[in-house]
Amino acid sequence: MSCKLDARDYPNNMRKIILSVAVSLDGYIEGPKGEFDWCPPPSKKEMSNFLLGIDTIFMGRKSYEMAGKSMFRDKERYVFSDTLPEKTKGIYIIRSNMLKTVSLMQQEKGKNIWLFGGASLISTFINQNMVDEMWLAFVPIILGGGKPLFENIVERKKYRLTESSVSEEYLSVKLARNTNHKK
Amino acid sequence: MSCKLDARDYPNNMRKIILSVAVSLDGYIEGPKGEFDWCPPPSKKEMSNFLLGIDTIFMGRKSYEMAGKSMFRDKERYVFSDTLPEKTKGIYIIRSNMLKTVSLMQQEKGKNIWLFGGASLISTFINQNMVDEMWLAFVPIILGGGKPLFENIVERKKYRLTESSVSEEYLSVKLARNTNHKK
């Protein structure tokens, strides 16, 4: 299937929030001990193409402390946290009024926004219908346990399949938010 | 990707056990109340093509009682149960020595075998490395709860991606058992 996203879904070319993550067949983004060894790294080309399309990254506090401190320094990094100091070097902190803040950011000029994780921030965004696209890379493995990508989802969320491809290492799929869910 | 399964993986054209099932993005095969309304029916053409390739169906007791009694009567239906009477009309019962029984069946002449479900029978087969192929149809929905396709998996299981396709309703993928896992 080659259909592309319909631009009309994004009035005024609003910046999209894209959840892009690798996931096991049984829906985990980390193994039972927090391990990632099951997850082949994306190709440099794919990764740099993806990064070209975004200029901003959203992270939870734990993800920032575990992985985000030294990564993606050329992007604007926003960390959602009530505990990190307001003036943490190199990042912006988002505390309260998150919905409004994010909505305003989406109306600014700029590239798309990568919802990096972790699971708790992802749940919040999905429950609020704030994830415009999901780019999932299924790794052909059953882990048997770990941290689920989708948890604490309070009601059904429908998406539209827009693209898929398969390599030896990944089944990649793009999904768009069902626009019947209003923000 | 167009690579097909390597015939050498199946000595003597052994009958394959194929798990074919629809699953939500968060890995459920039933909703929280056992509902299937989220799951569009497969096209008649797809279904009849699939059924042409199999002559035998494996079911757990609950699946048989809920869905299997009146379906697929033109196939040999095997129900794994310790409680159903040995001579239940129209089906064969498998009790003990399941591994050996199934292995002997695979060496007989015949078409492939559909592992229909439910979840508990699927887990047993996966844990025993007895699932040769998985044909998963991901429905683009997050259910938020229900009966997981994969549960009680005791160790990692790797598969090979062999084919994928996408329609409006499904992301379909075929995976083959990693032959490093010996039966």
pLDDT of residue B6: 42
- Choose among B141, B157, B171: nearest Cβ to A141: B157
**Percentage of residues in chain A with pLDDT exceeding 70?**
91
How far does the CA of residue A74 sit from the closest CA of chain B (Å)? 32
* pLDDT higher than threshold 50 for residue A91: yes
Helices within chain B (DSSP H only) = 44-52, 61-63, 98-107, 119-127
**How would residue A71 be classed by pLDDT, with cut points 50, 70 and 90?**
confident
Mean pLDDT by 10 residues, chain B (183 residues): 40 86 96 94 89 96 86 93 89 90 95 95 95 97 97 96 93 88 48
Does residue A158 sit at the B interface (CB-CB below 8 Å)? yes
Whether the pLDDT of residue A82 is over 60: the answer is yes
Question: What's the CA dihedral at A46, A47, A52, A57 to 10 degrees?
Answer: 140
pLDDT given at position B1? 32
Are B153 and A164 an interchain contact pair (Cβ–Cβ within 8 Å)? no
**Whole-prediction pTM:** 0.89
Radius of gyration, CA atoms only, chain A = 16
Q: Is A26 on the interface with B (CB under 8 A)?
A: yes
DSSP B154: -
Collect all residues of chain A within an 8 Å Cβ-Cβ radius of residue B170: 161
How far B117 CA lies from chain A's nearest CA (Å)? 16
pLDDT band at A11 (very low <50, low <70, confident <90, very high): low
ipTM of predicted complex: 0.89
Instruction: Tell me whether B160 touches chain A (CB under 8 Å).
Output: yes
Over residues A127-180, the pLDDT tens digits come to 999 999 999 999 999 999 999 999 999 999 999 999 999 999 999 999 999 875
Instruction: Provide the token pair at B147.
Output: 């009966």
Contact pairs from chain A to chain B, CB under 8 Å = 109
Question: B161, A168: Cβ pair inside 8 Å?
Answer: yes
Q: What is the pLDDT of residue B11?
A: 53
Chain A contact for B104 (CB, 8 A cutoff):
no
**B34 CB-contact burial (10 Å; exposed 0-12 / middle 13-18 / buried 19+):** exposed
The CA–CA distances, whole Å, from B17 to A73, B29, B93, B98 equal 49, 19, 17, 14
Whether chain B has a CB inside 8 Å of the CB on A37: the answer is: no
Q: List the single residue in A143, A150, A170 with the smallest CB-CB distance to B142.
A: A150
The answer, yes or no, to whether residue A112 has pLDDT greater than 60, is yes
d(CA B140, CA B30): 14
Q: Do B156 and A171 touch (CB under 8 A)?
A: no
A154 and B168 within 8 Å at the Cβ level: the answer is no
A168 touches chain B (CB under 8 A): yes
**Residue A36 touches chain B, beta carbons under 8 Å:** no
Is A144 in the B-facing interface, judged by CB distances under 8 Å? yes
d(C-alpha A16, C-alpha A23), whole Å: 21
State the burial class of residue A112 (Cβ atoms within 10 Å of its Cβ: 0-12, 13-18, 19+): buried
| For range A25-53, the mean pLDDT | 93
